[in-house]
């Protein structure tokens, strides 16, 4: 055991133990998630094209009870509005159901994102992908500052993950995250789309982040994510996962993420980062 960077020296953490706690928590919800996915759900439209259903609320209630038992500090959620930036130095931040549109449409590309933030940076994060767990038995991903990034094996161990080594932008796989109908109107995204070999959008942040962080674990993995209008619960978990897997995360002008700067971002395998930034920012050309 060792201390997670950013937490107090007395906060000794066994990342394998934490991963098993999270796995047990999500396994307790797996049947409910699958039943909801296979059924018709009652939903509310919080704002235009922004929906919340009973499953979101149920997972959120569970996390609000569970997370302080793992590390005792406040919990902030997408579904429970609160002032930002928060007054707390340490807090949990969660998206109980990332990819709601996919979930409601019967597309198995959704998940839960959790991050523990201390001093303005995520120091621990977990992403759970229920359909990956159902089909691949590898649905839980965890990352901790100073430890690395991992996915849970069926045996219960943790397998290190790493970003791809792709250095040729023309062969790169790009994922886009944000409002799908608006993404292609941005000039820097148009430039990136034409510069890369493969492009997908609308997967969900939970899926995109795990596929980038584990890009080196697949035959031709994901190399880059460009995000427009990312939310806090996506950005901080994303930065931790990608950097602990060997990649890089900045805004699209190369500036670091912060409690005030977390919306328009570039995540990459690191090798391609400056090439992608150069498509938007002349300073990198």
Using an 8 Å Cβ cutoff, are 115 and 124 in contact?
yes
What's the CATH number of domain 169-284, 1.10.569.10, 1.10.3980.10, 3.40.640.10, 3.40.190.80? 3.40.190.80
Q: What is the pLDDT of residue 281?
A: 58
Q: How far is Cα 170 from Cα 191, in angstroms, rounded to an integer?
A: 12
Architecture of domain 2-160: 2-Layer Sandwich (3.30)
pLDDT class for 31, splitting at 50, 70, 90?
Answer: very high
Specify the 3-state DSSP secondary structure of 150.
Answer: strand
Specify the 3-state DSSP secondary structure of 79.
Answer: coil
Q: How far is Cα 84 from Cα 60, in angstroms, rounded to an integer?
A: 19
- pLDDT of residue 181 exceeding 80, the answer is no
pLDDT class for 1, splitting at 50, 70, 90?
Answer: very low
Specify the 3-state DSSP secondary structure of 198.
Answer: strand
Per-residue pLDDT tens digits for 247-268:
999 999 999 999 999 999 999 9
- Averaged confidence pLDDT in the chain: 91
Per-residue pLDDT tens digits for 167-179:
999 999 999 998 7
- pLDDT of residue 164 exceeding 80, the answer is yes
The values of phi and psi at residue 103, to 5°, are: -55, -50
- The residue written with tokens 């596929």 in the block is 211
> 72 among the known binding-site residues?
no
Specify the 3-state DSSP secondary structure of 195.
Answer: helix
pLDDT class for 128, splitting at 50, 70, 90?
Answer: very high
- pLDDT of residue 5 exceeding 70, the answer is no
Q: Domain ranges in the chain?
A: 2-160, 169-284
Extract the tokens encoding 188.
Answer: 């820097």
Average of pLDDT values for 214-243?
Answer: 96
Average of pLDDT values for 195-214?
Answer: 96
- The residue written with tokens 């080196």 in the block is 216
Q: What is the pLDDT of residue 183?
A: 78
How many residues in total does the chain contain? 285
Q: What is the pLDDT of residue 282?
A: 53
Helices (H), 71-143: 100-104, 130-136
> 14 among the known binding-site residues?
no
Q: What is the pLDDT of residue 85?
A: 93
- pLDDT of residue 10 exceeding 50, the answer is no
Average of pLDDT values for 52-60?
Answer: 90
Q: How far is Cα 242 from Cα 246, in angstroms, rounded to an integer?
A: 6
Q: What is the pLDDT of residue 285?
A: 45
Q: What is the pLDDT of residue 184?
A: 76
Output 141 or 182, whichever has higher pLDDT: 141
Average of pLDDT values for 48-77?
Answer: 92
> 78 among the known binding-site residues?
yes
Per-residue pLDDT tens digits for 77-125:
977 778 999 999 999 999 999 999 999 999 999 999 999 999 999 999 9
Percentage of the chain exceeding pLDDT 70: 93
- pLDDT of residue 75 exceeding 70, the answer is yes
- pLDDT of residue 50 exceeding 90, the answer is no
Other CB atoms within a 10 A radius of the CB of residue 96 amount to 25
pTM reported for the whole predicted model: 0.93
């Amino acid at each position: 055991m060792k201390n997670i960077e950013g937490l107090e020296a007395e906060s000794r953490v066994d990342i394998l133990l934490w991963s098993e706690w999270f796995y047990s928590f999500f396994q307790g919800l797996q049947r409910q998630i699958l039943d909801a996915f296979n059924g018709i759900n009652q939903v509310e439209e919080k704002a235009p094209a922004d929906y919340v259903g009973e499953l979101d609320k149920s997972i959120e209630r569970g996390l609000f009870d569970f997370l302080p038992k793992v590390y005792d500090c406040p919990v902030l959620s997408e579904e429970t509005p609160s002032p930002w930036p928060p007054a707390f130095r340490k807090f949990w931040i969660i998206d109980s159901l990332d990819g709601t549109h996919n979930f409601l449409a019967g597309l198995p590309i959704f998940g839960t994102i959790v991050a523990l933030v201390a001093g303005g940076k995520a120091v621990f994060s977990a992403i759970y992908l229920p359909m990956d767990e159902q089909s691949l038995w590898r649905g839980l991903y965890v990352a901790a500052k100073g430890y690395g990034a991992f996915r849970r094996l069926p045996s219960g161990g943790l397998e290190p993950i790493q970003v791809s080594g792709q250095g040729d932008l023309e062969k790169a796989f790009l994922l886009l995250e944000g409002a799908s109908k608006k993404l292609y109107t941005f000039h820097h995204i148009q430039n990136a789309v034409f510069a890369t070999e493969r492009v997908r959008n609308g997967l969900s942040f939970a899926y995109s982040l795990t596929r980038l962080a584990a890009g080196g674990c697949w035959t031709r993995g994901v190399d880059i994510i460009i995000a427009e209008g990312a939310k806090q619960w996506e950005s901080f978990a994303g930065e931790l996962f990608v950097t602990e897997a060997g990649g890089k995360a900045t805004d699209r002008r190369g500036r670091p993420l912060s409690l005030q700067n977390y919306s328009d971002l570039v995540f990459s395998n690191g090798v391609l980062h400056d090439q992608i930034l150069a498509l938007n920012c002349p300073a990198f050309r």
